[in-house]
Amino acid sequence: MSYVIYTDSSSNLTPDLVQAWDVRVVSLVYAIDGVDHPAYDPDFDGHRFYDALRNRAEVRTSMINAGEFTRAFEPALAAGEDVIYIGMSSGISGTVQAASIAAGELGQKYPGRRIYVKDTLGASFGEGLFAKRVSEMRAAGADIDEAARWVDENVQRMNQVFTVEDLMFLKRGGRLSGMTALLGTLANVKPILWGNEEGRIVPIDRMIGRKKSLKALADRFARQVVDPEKQTIAIAHSDCEADAQYLVDMIRRQFPQQDVLVRCYEPGTGAHVGPGAVALFFFGKPR
């Protein structure tokens, strides 16, 4: 039986990747100065969005509710297909819980169908790379049960490390304490943050200066990565493509053949990390 792969817009998949990997995206919504926008938008202008954040525009994000997941999943189930949803970390959002509610209700309506909701304990490409791998497994003939097991077995291998320009964005989103955010804005301190084993954002280091913080990401990659030549790694940036490329160049000095995917941070997650964030995602040693 065939199955459909869903993810949410926080997975950072752009339309070309959605098409290439044959994935369906359920979109979060963000409001900028009171006007609602879908977070998954083929016409998203990253420079314009992050410039608005730099100019202190008011941005709010909202999670996907159970009804929206029901509306997204049901056409596939009604067509006789199974569903696997690759979701945003339960450590920072209630989105997976909402998807689980929808799956439970739909499971009663379509008792012959399998519906898997997978908590990646990640965001951005911390989700997106799972969607990529599941897509590859499906193309190779793996059934939905095998794909679901693979996600469970590899969640803790997804390494997510990033640096931000201004910790106050994470503070406003409830991701960090006020004192941590205040200290991080002093003396050109650039924090190094990590998605931990519970899918929560925690600081693990701090560097003085931008280039040192980017080097810390490359060093973390060198220490943690496993089988780099067998995987695509991903970098998301908040309107700072030159810094993302600087990180790519450092990684490729040690790993010349490394396959690297670089994209602008989508707005649902990007609103919380703020302009100037650079994040690196790869499979490696357990978090």
Task: Tell me which amino acid residue 159 is.
Answer: N
* Contacting residues for 185 by C-beta, under 8 A, at least 6 apart: 166, 167, 168
Tell me: do 147 and 22 sit in the same domain.
yes
Contact 114, 81 (CB under 8 A): no
- Structural domain total, the chain: 2
CATH code where residue 182 lies: 3.30.1180.10
Q: Cα separation of 154 and 286, whole Å?
A: 9
Query: Residue 210 sits in which domain range?
Result: 157-283
CATH code where residue 130 lies: 3.40.50.10170
Last residue of a domain, one of 96, 131, 155: 155
Tell me: do 66 and 189 sit in the same domain.
no
Tell me: do 174 and 254 sit in the same domain.
yes
Q: Cα separation of 200 and 93, whole Å?
A: 10
Residue 189 phi/psi, 5-degree rounding, is: -75, 130
**Local confidence pLDDT in tens for the 287 residues of the chain:** 589 999 999 999 999 999 999 999 999 999 999 999 999 999 999 999 999 999 999 999 999 999 999 999 999 999 999 999 999 999 999 999 999 999 999 999 999 999 999 999 999 999 999 999 999 999 999 999 999 999 999 999 999 999 998 777 766 655 554 445 445 555 578 889 999 999 998 888 888 899 999 999 999 999 999 999 999 999 999 999 999 999 999 999 999 999 999 999 999 999 999 999 999 999 999 98
Question: For the range 28-31, what are the long-range contacts, defined as Cβ-Cβ under 8 Å and sequence gap of 24 or more?
Answer: 28/61, 28/62, 28/63, 28/64, 28/95, 28/268, 29/61, 29/62, 30/59, 30/60, 30/61, 30/62, 30/267, 30/268, 30/271, 31/59, 31/60, 31/61, 31/62
Tell me: do 104 and 214 sit in the same domain.
no
